[in-house]
Amino acid sequence: MSLDHSLNDLSHVVAADRAHVWHHLSQHKQYETADPRVFVEGKGMRLWDTTGREYLDAVSGGVWTVNVGYGRESIANAVRDQLVKLNYYAGAAGNVPAALFAEKLIAKMPGMSRVYYSNSGSEANEKAYKMVRQIAQRQHGGRKWKILYRDRDYHGTTIGTLATSGQDQRAAQYGPYPDGFVRVPHCLEYRKQWDVENYGERAADAIEEVILREGPDTVGAIVLEPITAGGGVIVPPEGYWPRVQEICRKYDILLHIDEVVCGLGRTGTWFGYQHYGIQPDIVTMAKGVASGYAAISCTVTTEAVFAMFKDDASDPMGYFRDISTFGGCTAGPVAALENMRIIEDEGLLENTAAMGERVLANLRALQERHAVIGEVRGKGLFCGAELVADRATKEALDEKRVQAVVAECLAQGVIIGATNRSLPGLNNTLCLSPALIATEADIDRITDAIDGALAKVVG
């Protein structure tokens, strides 16, 4: 580690953080008696804090973001050069990196056509919801305005996106929410809701039942994660996605895939939906688009969706009347271009698929030794292990004990994640999403840490 000594006194940095920074997802009462952890440097998959301690990061920046790893000078240099040349102009006009990244991105997404830039996954999803609502007004006499969302899925932190949160604890205390957002059942077969042979198709048919209950002429879109992320790393069962698309086409419902987590290689393909042979109408993405080197998100649509907003001057309200101030910053798309080049040139999609198989194999080996692991699931470098107090009944392990496993891994210098304060009674899944550059040694160290933590915490 080579700390920037211009900071001089890192103890002052910690004191300033403790006194003035409001951390995300944190109960600050703890900092009355303990210092917050402050990171200083990252390289590859390693992080160092102000004490000089080293950590192996198995969650890509805490929230599945730093896909190509820390310390990428080529991305930093590309951003620096672009900002000197042109840092910003509002998105009503174009700029060079935005045009070039849109072109390259669309080349990875057959059937898609247009890219709308903003800053975060929450914002990208808000844009999509606004598009659906405006299409309802312009094309359907205001009728097809409802948006379906799935239990256990998550789409953002704003009031609008929390209205589509399938994670009740995340949405708690922030209502009342706007009307027109309707939940459909989850598709986690491990916690099955129907005793049938073709579970994937049955879970999809449950969506059709909701559509028929609400009235097909009132439903404009459905938003779904290709693989549920924070809701427990849920890979949809076979038959689910083709049936979902069939239902959407049957009732003229736009299929919106939220790739904020899965996008840009996380599952071993450019996008999670590409494992399933479906064609979405809208795709949103953020986290891994620039691996956290600059803020960027994209709302990508088909040409057919885009065409619904093209009109002549006879309708002055006919275009998409939206703006994202920092969607006009050039840092995001130029960082995204270099991020994509790295993924291609270093074969990171292939590495993700191979290392993902190693994670799953290692976790399944742990499952044989630890009865507390009820199910292992995932795709690519996006894996989870659901912890249970009893395999026969599938009673979830208490959240405090799950978090104790996470804490013990941290004590070993390995940062892992887990569902927490999201799903009442079911915050029991360990979550792994190491950078796409992970090696066999990295993977083995991560799962060895979990092995040791389970032995110590659960026995």
pLDDT of residue 8: 60
Residues 184 and 53 in one domain: no
Exposure string for 352-384, b = 16+ CB within 10 A, e = fewer: bbbbbbbbbebbeebbeebebbbbbbbbbbbbb
Question: Is position 43 within any domain?
Answer: yes
Domain boundary among 345, 368, 392: 345
Residue 333 C-alpha from the chain's centroid: 19
On whether residue 1 sits in a domain, the answer given is: no
2 belongs to a structural domain: no
- Same-domain status, 330 and 413: no
Domain boundary among 345, 363, 397: 345
310: CATH: 3.40.640.10
Contacts of 401 (CB under 8 A, 6+ apart): 387, 457, 458
pLDDT at 5: 43
Q: Which CATH number do you get for residue 395?
A: 3.90.1150.10
Give me the percent of the chain exceeding a pLDDT of 90. 95
| 176 upstream amide cis, omega within 30 of 0 | yes
160 and 300, same domain (yes or no): yes
Instruction: Decide if pLDDT at 408 tops 90.
Output: yes
235 found inside a domain? yes
Residue 7, pLDDT score:
53
Do both 201 and 282 map to the same domain?
Answer: yes
The answer to the question of residue 117 being in a domain is yes
Query: Is residue 274 in some structural domain?
Result: yes
Say whether both 52 and 159 belong to one domain. no
pLDDT in tens, 210-250: 999 999 999 999 999 999 999 999 999 999 999 999 999 99
Kindly state whether residues 45 and 92 are assigned to the same domain.
Answer: no
* Residue-number span of the structural domain to which 53 is assigned: 7-66+347-457
Gap between the Cα atoms of 161 and 165, Å rounded: 7
Amino acid at 331: A
Alpha-carbon distance of 150 to 186, in angstroms, equals: 6
- 271 and 320 fall within a common domain: yes
Residue at a domain's end among 293, 323, 345: 345
Any domain includes 82 = yes
- pLDDT score for 315: 81
* pLDDT, tens digit, 9 for 90 and up, residues 332-342: 999 999 999 99
57, 86: one domain = no
116 falls within a domain? yes
Residues 178 and 237 in one domain: yes
43 shares a domain with 141: no
How far, CA to CA in Å, does 321 sit from each of 92, 134, 310, 316, 324? Answer: 11, 9, 12, 10, 11
Report, in angstroms and rounded to the nearest whole number, the Rg of the chain calculated over CA atoms. Answer: 22
Q: Are residues 328 and 433 in the same domain?
A: no
**Domain tally, the chain:** 2
The per-residue pLDDT for 459 is: 83
Model confidence pLDDT, tens digit, residues 310-362? 886 678 888 999 999 999 999 999 999 999 999 999 999 999 999 999 999 99
Regarding whether 119 and 37 lie in a shared domain, the answer is no
Query: pLDDT tens digits, residue range 122-149?
Result: 999 999 999 999 999 999 999 999 999 9
